[in-house]
Amino acid sequence: MRLDQDLRFTILEKVGVYSTRFGIAEPKAVLSTREVLDLPKEITQGRRTSAYKYLGVSYLQHNLVFINVKKIPDDKTLENTIVHELIHLRFPYLSHGRRFNRLVRQGLAGKNFKPYKKRA
């Protein structure tokens, strides 16, 4: 996909809608590898130069998601990637697997989750 102002707005709107449904604070969303590299190194540490390989990355401690628009081929993949990364923020203790994938499917189907409170 090609990132333009309309697509940027659409993605940010979807991030806002899904974060509300998932009961989490709306994360900051970055949409290009340039934006990732422009962030302070301590935020993106560990997934700074490899982020371009993935469709999306969640930076849990900084309430930040990277949606790699360049690698995303269509609207369905975009929606799935947004939900996938937000599920990581909502359920930070879960790894990829059956339960995680079920939660992604539920999120795509419109399920609302109870608010999540991070422990200090």
Divide the 120 residues of the chain into consecutive groups of 10 and give the mean pLDDT of each group.
Answer: 94 97 95 90 79 88 94 96 97 95 96 78
What secondary structure does DSSP assign to 62-119, as a single string? GTEEEE-GGG--SHHHHHHHHHHHHHHHH-TTPPSSHHHHHHHHHHHTT---------
Sort strands 56-59 and 64-67 into parallel, antiparallel or unpaired. antiparallel
Q: Delineate the domains of the chain, giving CATH numbers in brackets.
A: 5-108 (3.30.2010)
pLDDT at 118: 64
Q: In what order do the strands lie in the sheet with 64-67?
A: 28-30, 64-67, 56-59
pLDDT at 23: 95
